Amino acid sequence: MAGIRTLEEILKRDPERYAITVFGEEPHPNYNRIMLSSVLQGDANVNDIVLNDYDWYESNGITLHTGDPVVKVDESKQLVISEQGRTCSYDKLIFATGSNPFMLPLPGADKEGVIAFRNIKDCETMIEASRHYKKAVVIGGGLLGLEAARGLLNLNMEVDVVHIADYLMERQLDEQAGSMLREELEKQGMNFLLNKQTEQITGDTRVKGLRFKDGTSTKADLVVMAVGIRPNVELAKESGLEINRAIIVDDYMQTSKKNIYAVGECAEHRGIAYGLVAPLYEQGKVLAEHICAEDKAAVSGYQGSIVYTQLKVSGVDVFSAGKFQDSKETKAIRVHDEFEGIYKKVVVQDNKVIGAVLFGDTGDSPRILDMMKKEQDISEMSKVAILPTEQSAGEKESPVLLMAEDETICGCNGVSKGEIVAAITNQGLTSVEEIKQCTNASRSCGGCKPLVADLLALTTGEQADTSKEPMCGCTDYTHEEVVANIRELGLSYPREVMNVLHWRTEEGCSKCRPAINYYLGMVDPLKNKDDHTSRFINERAHGNIQNDGTFSVVPRMYGGVTNPAQLRQIADVADKYNIPLLKVTGGQRIDMFGVEKEDLPKVWEELGMRSGSAYAKALRTVKTCVGEQFCRFGTQDSIGLGIELEKKFEYINTPHKVKMAVSACPRNCAESGIKDFGVVGVEGAWELYVGGNGGVDLRAGDLFCKVKTKEEIIEIISAFLQYYRENARYLERTSHFVERVGLDHMKKVVLDDSKRRKELVERLEVALSTGKDPWKEIIESEEKRKELFEKKQVESLV
Ligand SMILES: Cc1cc2nc3c(=O)[nH]c(=O)nc-3n(C[C@H](O)[C@H](O)[C@H](O)COP(=O)(O)OP(=O)(O)OC[C@H]3O[C@@H](n4cnc5c(N)ncnc54)[C@H](O)[C@@H]3O)c2cc1C
Ligand SMILES: NC(=O)c1ccc[n+]([C@@H]2O[C@H](COP(=O)([O-])OP(=O)(O)OC[C@H]3O[C@@H](n4cnc5c(N)ncnc54)[C@H](O)[C@@H]3O)[C@@H](O)[C@H]2O)c1
Ligand code: SF4
Ligand code: FES
């Protein structure tokens, strides 16, 4: 990150000055390492995080050798030699070799399944492990460990975090904030083993567990070490550079040898080796200025940085900067609101703010950081004004409003409010993405995005378009733009979309291909030919792949209702194919686990039942309560309506999975409140709840309407579903969609505008007319059976 940022700074100043060659050990062009946490947490993919792709190197005349580390520097001849035997002469040499993760030298640390979290490969190893194993242990409760743990939870693993200290992030937080953080993360599902020192990693070839010095132990299928980093200085040492903890540099990043420089985590300036990008980028800027300047004396050197950190775990706002621990020489201003879970502490010494910890509300962080950077004298200030309450600061006003022009908005990239405003005004920028391209603001951790968006809105007087995110790293087009192009240009095939819209990759990626395939089907359901190679493995095999490579089969049982004949059939098939586990699901279906892939078509055929779509981005289940048929409280026919809904909407493709439920009274036994569409019977009427979700992002559905008849309910769900199909981004659940577009907007579209409702229903009916039972199609087609279940498939989209 530091090395290539230095090159960007050089190119900005004097693009013709140097012929540049880059050697990189990893097999990728430079990428945003910070965003590995987002890749692991499922919010980005590897293509999204590339900072400068191969084209960038080519168009700037830079020779790039990836996957080829430098192994020797011959300082006397000014040559570097790479592992693959390349020899390259230099006038100036920059070391930007970063750090290595510190691996605790424990007995068993060399076992399979013990890894670090530093690069794309580690990220891929974790994602792959989560497909086969259940239990992960992260050693280290610092920034990296907690972000890794959150990612592993998102990958459905159980996670223990083993931490040596008695509270989390002790290098960044005081005890109060550390324990509040622990409480919050425990709510998210992390399990903490504090005050623990690992003694041994147990297992045969693969890790099975951890034993601690206090005699206790825990199970582990995967161990991620996140106990700090060590600057990568081996090559520099062998090359004769002066080393302490890292490569010693002066204020111009020059090492002990002439014409050899060091930037980034491998460099040590005034005794400090930094481990966050903001200081590294400042160093890169100084180095670029220095080696491009005609008058070197005019360049002011690097003076060191004030660092701050923010944890990138959603739902947790934590900020820490400078010296945050109390001491005899310091005094602190504290706010602790136990009702709202907010804690703020600002540490003052000699009338200057020297450190801060904020938990639960980090809105004050840019201002506090600014006071620290400017070493502002606060002797004349009322101390409580340093941490204003919401009322005194102005209710819910954006913090950017109060910021001075020279205050920093993007800490990672050192971009001030004034610079962003100038870019918006002078260059007519209209989106956060454009601001990022132009100023670098929000290009690293992304934490400043909301502030950048607010500033854009304030400057242009319009709501910022934060949604102008490209679909993936293969294109600059957003989801909405891709759909608009498909409609306007009448595009029909994924390849055609990629060609016409100048995709950067030939094949697309696992993010854009399924999305394009969905959009094509949604725009023209009658003509579209589904491209099954663009679907995820579960959708291609029409079953869910399990951790041992077998599949699960869930036959359709409308409304969760079955009968003795069906149950006998399921039992017979289970016996015949040695199906090891039958389980009733949360959606009231029977799930048959452990079916071999090649047996799938025979199992479906012999069951004689339709696919339950348990693997599809489609209607999964309609859960029902017993209702008026048997229940004393039932006021409506919940089973009847549930079955009708399921029969109507089965096999319609949707942006993400859709779940429904019907309960016949407000006791709500079918849990209608946490479904995408939840219906509740009340005396003489039905209530419809939308946007509920019972998964990771627990969300109660919003009451959308109350109507008298089931025909009205079906029509309203149809219109809503079609609007969601047409306007949601692929993989956006209704819960997020409702929040993005707003419930009032949905009411206007679906409830208030009867013409529009009718049109939506008509378009949905067309799409419904193309729905087919996929199991039946495969059973009846010898060709499909062979293609999908007999030939070995390349599982590129798993
Ligand atoms: C998961 C994760 C999340 C993070 N989150 C944040 C965050 O939110 N905020 C923040 O500020 N920082 C964060 N960081 C830290 C940040 O990523 C690093 O500080 C930054 O990447 C360091 O930049 P660098 O250029 O010094 O080193 P690197 O980015 O590590 O680059 C060094 C490169 O040099 C290569 N190399 C090493 N030796 C050789 C050789 N001999 N020849 C050729 N190539 C070689 C390495 O393979 C590597 O690709 C995070 C780090 C991780 C791992
Ligand atoms: N959001 C962010 O800014 C962010 C995110 C990830 C990584 N990073 C950076 O990446 C680097 C690596 O992060 P990190 O969290 O590994 O480093 P770190 O040094 O910040 O934290 C390591 C933690 O591991 C604990 N530890 C040490 N030995 C242990 C042991 N034997 N058992 C259990 N716990 C032990 C320490 O007490 C410490 O809290 C740092 O430079 C960090 O700043 C930053
Ligand atoms: S929701 Fe009401 S009607 Fe349905 S089973 Fe429960 S108590 Fe009975
Ligand atoms: S603060 Fe990290 S990208 Fe702006």
- Model confidence pLDDT, tens digit, residues 108-165: 999 999 999 999 999 999 999 999 999 999 999 999 999 999 999 999 999 999 999 9
> Same structural domain for residues 768 and 778?
no
> Same structural domain for residues 185 and 60?
no
Angle in degrees, 0-180, between the axes of helices 120-132 and 143-154, rounded to the nearest 10: 40
Q: Report the pLDDT averaged over residues 463-477.
A: 73
According to the model, what pLDDT value does residue 453 have? 87
> Same structural domain for residues 193 and 91?
no
**CATH code, 53:** 3.50.50.60
Which stretch of 385-389, 506-510, 589-593 has the lowest confidence by average pLDDT? 385-389
Confirm whether 598 is domain-assigned.
yes
Tokens at 526, concatenated = 């009658």
According to the model, what pLDDT value does residue 431 have? 84
- Higher-confidence position of 702 and 792: 702
Instruction: Give the distance (Å) from ligand 2 centre to CA of residue 277.
Output: 15
Instruction: Give the distance (Å) from ligand 4 centre to CA of residue 163.
Output: 28
According to the model, what pLDDT value does residue 472 have? 84
- Tell me whether residue 669 is annotated as binding: yes
Confidence of residue 796 (pLDDT cuts 50, 70, 90): very low
Q: For residue 276, give the ligand 1 atom closest to its CA.
A: 11
> Same structural domain for residues 238 and 94?
yes
| Eight-state DSSP code of residue 206 | B
> Same structural domain for residues 501 and 630?
no
Tokens at 236, concatenated = 């520099």
Of all residues in the chain, what percent carry a pLDDT higher than 70? 97
Whether ligand 2 lies within 6 angstroms of the CB of 162 is answered as yes
Question: Rounded to an integer, what distance in angstroms lies between the CA atom of residue 785 and that of residue 788?
Answer: 5
Encode pLDDT of 342-386 as tens digits.
999 999 999 999 999 999 988 888 889 889 988 999 888 777 777
DSSP letters along 441-457, please?
Answer: TTSSS-TTHHHHHHHHH
Which stretch of 52-61, 264-273, 506-515, 759-768 has the lowest confidence by average pLDDT? 506-515
Residue nearest to ligand 2 atom 19, measured at CA = 228
Instruction: Give the distance (Å) from ligand 2 centre to CA of residue 622.
Output: 45
Whether ligand 3 lies within 6 angstroms of the CB of 292 is answered as no
Asked which of 227, 247, 265 is the last residue of a domain, the reply is 227
* Residue of 311, 318, 410, 466 to test ligand 4 pocket, by largest number of atoms within 8 Å of CB: 410
504 lies in which domain range?
479-535
Confirm whether 110 is domain-assigned.
yes
The answer to whether 466 and 449 are in contact (CB under 8 A) is yes
- Report the amino acid identity of residue 384: V
Whether ligand 1 lies within 6 angstroms of the CB of 117 is answered as yes
Whether ligand 3 lies within 6 angstroms of the CB of 627 is answered as yes
Instruction: Give the distance (Å) from ligand 1 centre to CA of residue 70.
Output: 17
> Same structural domain for residues 21 and 45?
yes
Whether ligand 4 lies within 6 angstroms of the CB of 445 is answered as yes
According to the model, what pLDDT value does residue 46 have? 82
> Same structural domain for residues 81 and 139?
no
Report which bound ligand comes closest to the CA of 35: 1
> Same structural domain for residues 752 and 628?
yes
Residue 277 three-state SS: helix
According to the model, what pLDDT value does residue 48 have? 83
According to the model, what pLDDT value does residue 795 have? 30
63-65 and 21-23 beta bridge pairing: parallel
| Eight-state DSSP code of residue 789 | I
**Is the CA virtual torsion 272, 278, 280, 282 positive or negative?**
negative
The answer to whether 618 and 768 are in contact (CB under 8 A) is no
- Tell me whether residue 266 is annotated as binding: no
> Same structural domain for residues 690 and 761?
yes
- Higher-confidence position of 548 and 594: 594
Confidence of residue 392 (pLDDT cuts 50, 70, 90): very low
According to the model, what pLDDT value does residue 391 have? 45
Backbone phi, psi, residue 3, to 5°: -65, -50
99-101 and 93-95 beta bridge pairing: unpaired
Whether ligand 3 lies within 6 angstroms of the CB of 665 is answered as yes
Q: For residue 410, give the ligand 4 atom closest to its CA.
A: 4
Q: Is the pLDDT of residue 395 over 60?
A: no
Question: Rounded to an integer, what distance in angstroms lies between the CA atom of residue 630 and that of residue 624?
Answer: 13
Residue nearest to ligand 3 atom 2, measured at CA = 665
Confirm whether 322 is domain-assigned.
no
Q: Report the pLDDT averaged over residues 524-545.
A: 86
Instruction: Give the distance (Å) from ligand 4 centre to CA of residue 281.
Output: 12
Backbone phi, psi, residue 588, to 5°: 65, 40
Confirm whether 688 is domain-assigned.
yes
**CATH code, 625:** 3.30.413.10
**CATH code, 796:** 3.30.70
Instruction: Give the distance (Å) from ligand 2 centre to CA of residue 229.
Output: 8
Q: Report the pLDDT averaged over residues 55-62.
A: 90
Report which bound ligand comes closest to the CA of 447: 4
Instruction: Give the distance (Å) from ligand 2 centre to CA of residue 140.
Output: 6
Q: Is the pLDDT of residue 509 over 90?
A: no
* Residue of 412, 416, 439, 452 to test ligand 4 pocket, by largest number of atoms within 8 Å of CB: 412
Instruction: Give the distance (Å) from ligand 3 centre to CA of residue 711.
Output: 21
According to the model, what pLDDT value does residue 469 have? 79
Confirm whether 132 is domain-assigned.
yes
CA distances to 102, 281, 411, 414, 448 from 444, rounded to whole Å, are: 23, 11, 9, 11, 9
The answer to whether 97 and 232 are in contact (CB under 8 A) is yes
- Higher-confidence position of 366 and 221: 221
**79: CB partners within 8 A, 6+ apart:** 73, 87, 88, 89, 90
Domain count, the chain: 5
Q: Report the pLDDT averaged over residues 607-636.
A: 94
Going edge to edge, which strands form the sheet with 198-203?
198-203, 207-212, 217-219
Encode pLDDT of 93-110 as tens digits.
999 999 999 999 999 999
> Same structural domain for residues 544 and 522?
no
CA distances to 324, 614, 787 from 555, rounded to whole Å, are: 58, 9, 22
According to the model, what pLDDT value does residue 541 have? 85
Which stretch of 66-75, 127-136, 144-153, 540-549 has the lowest confidence by average pLDDT? 540-549
Whether ligand 1 lies within 6 angstroms of the CB of 473 is answered as no
Other CB atoms within 10 A of residue 245 CB = 12
| Eight-state DSSP code of residue 793 | P
Tracing tokens 């098939």 back to the chain, one arrives at 573
> Same structural domain for residues 508 and 557?
no
The answer to whether 71 and 51 are in contact (CB under 8 A) is no
**444: CB partners within 8 A, 6+ apart:** 1, 32, 34, 277, 410, 412, 413
Confirm whether 320 is domain-assigned.
no
Confirm whether 360 is domain-assigned.
no
Q: Is the pLDDT of residue 463 over 70?
A: no
> Same structural domain for residues 61 and 185?
no
Q: Is the pLDDT of residue 2 over 90?
A: yes
Instruction: Give the distance (Å) from ligand 3 centre to CA of residue 616.
Output: 29
Confirm whether 369 is domain-assigned.
no
Q: For residue 229, give the ligand 2 atom closest to its CA.
A: 12
Residue nearest to ligand 3 atom 3, measured at CA = 634
Q: For residue 444, give the ligand 4 atom closest to its CA.
A: 3
Whether ligand 2 lies within 6 angstroms of the CB of 268 is answered as no
Report which bound ligand comes closest to the CA of 86: 1
Instruction: Give the distance (Å) from ligand 1 centre to CA of residue 114.
Output: 20
217-219 and 87-89 beta bridge pairing: unpaired
Residue 193 three-state SS: strand
- Tell me whether residue 474 is annotated as binding: no
Tokens at 630, concatenated = 């048997």
Predicted model pTM: 0.66
Question: Rounded to an integer, what distance in angstroms lies between the CA atom of residue 722 and that of residue 255?
Answer: 63
- Tell me whether residue 625 is annotated as binding: yes
Tracing tokens 């204020």 back to the chain, one arrives at 251
Confidence of residue 465 (pLDDT cuts 50, 70, 90): low
